[in-house]
Copies of this chain bind each other. A is one copy, B any other.
Amino acid sequence: MDTGYVHGYTEPETRRLGDQADTLAELLHAGTAYPAGSRVLEAGCGVGAQTAHLVTRSPGAHLTAVDVSEASLRQARARVGGVDFRRADLFDLDGEYDHVFVCFVLEHLLEPEKALAHLKTLLRPGGTITVVEGDHGSAFFHPRSEHAQAAIDCLVRLQADAGGDALIGRRLHPLLTGAGFAGVTVEPRTVYADRSRPELVAGFTRDTFTAMVEGVGETAVARGLATADGWARGIADLRRTTGPDGTFHYAFFKATGRNP
């Protein structure tokens, strides 16, 4: 079944999402803590990788976490307690919330601005939205490699073919503003790894980013976007950036806005 979700629903992918969330928790969640008693919606919680960090940082909030995939929700329920998990399509959601949190979801949607506009209808006046997305155009590294770049470009292309946008981070400000949010601010949250930061080299460059690109290899080759050899070379060159002389840069973007 082609679900349209570029990263798939495999076991290694579930592990990767957990590794990524743990490595990046401080980077992505810093500044996000909701008051006790506030009604918080996580739209698109997937396997609960970010949900776990929301609960830790906002222990008194009432958290509702929604996803379209029942299989993902099963894993989320097993991973995180104290959360009201529900299966629903983002566009069918109703209710009223004080805060909405969306992480790594808009990048997969055909109409992200429309999704944001719908989420805005679920917020009380003055309620806030927080959106976190990556941007694969922010990935650059040493040693440079056109093969590695081509592999990343394949992932961007596959995500575009599935109706998404792997370069969405740079668009968050116009998207939130266009959806009618007020006081929109966007901050880059940058990961930079070199040999002086071995935990990021392993946790991000190797186990998060390279693993993510690697995950679409079969599809990229099957669709003729890469040759098997070219792909293998690209992955090998990405791995080379985890060597003693290697460096890796990637920027996430964290946006906040208010329902006026």
Please name all residues of chain B whose beta carbon is closer than 8 Å to the beta carbon of A170 when the two chains form the complex: 140-142, 144, 247, 249
**Cβ-based interface call for A75 (8 A):** no
Q: Is the CB of A247 within 8 A of B186?
A: yes
Contact indicator per residue, chain A 180-222, by CB within 8 Å of chain B (1) or not (0): 0000111110101011100000000000000000000000000
**Cβ-based interface call for A227 (8 A):** no
Please name all residues of chain B whose beta carbon is closer than 8 Å to the beta carbon of A247 when the two chains form the complex: 170-171, 173-174, 186
Please name all residues of chain B whose beta carbon is closer than 8 Å to the beta carbon of A187 when the two chains form the complex: 192
Decide: A192 near B196, CB < 8 A? Known: A170-B141, A170-B249. Answer: no
Q: Is the CB of B190 within 8 A of A251?
A: yes
Copy number of this protein in the oligomer? 2
Per the bound structure, the CA–CA distance linking A134 and B178 in Å amounts to: 32
Per the bound structure, the CA–CA distance linking A208 and B81 in Å amounts to: 50
**Dominant SS among interface residues on chain A:** mixed
Please name all residues of chain B whose beta carbon is closer than 8 Å to the beta carbon of A92 when the two chains form the complex: none
**Cβ-based interface call for A138 (8 A):** yes
Q: In the complex, what's the smallest C-beta–C-beta distance from A173 to chain B, in angstroms?
A: 4
Q: Is the CB of B186 within 8 A of A194?
A: yes
Per the bound structure, the CA–CA distance linking A218 and B87 in Å amounts to: 59
Q: In the complex, what's the smallest C-beta–C-beta distance from A68 to chain B, in angstroms?
A: 27
Q: Is the CB of B184 within 8 A of A192?
A: no
**Cβ-based interface call for A167 (8 A):** yes
Q: Write the chain B residue with the least CB distance to A136.
A: B140
Q: Write the chain B residue with the least CB distance to A167.
A: B144
Q: List 22 A-B contacts (CB under 8 A).
A: A135-B249, A137-B140, A138-B138, A138-B140, A140-B167, A140-B170, A142-B171, A142-B174, A144-B167, A144-B170, A170-B249, A173-B194, A173-B245, A173-B247, A174-B245, A174-B246, A184-B196, A186-B196, A188-B192, A188-B249, A190-B251, A251-B251
Using A137-B140, A178-B245 as known contacts, list a sample of 9 further A-B pairs with CB atoms less than 8 Å apart, ordered by residue number in A. Answer: A135-B249, A138-B140, A140-B170, A142-B171, A173-B245, A177-B195, A185-B196, A186-B194, A251-B251
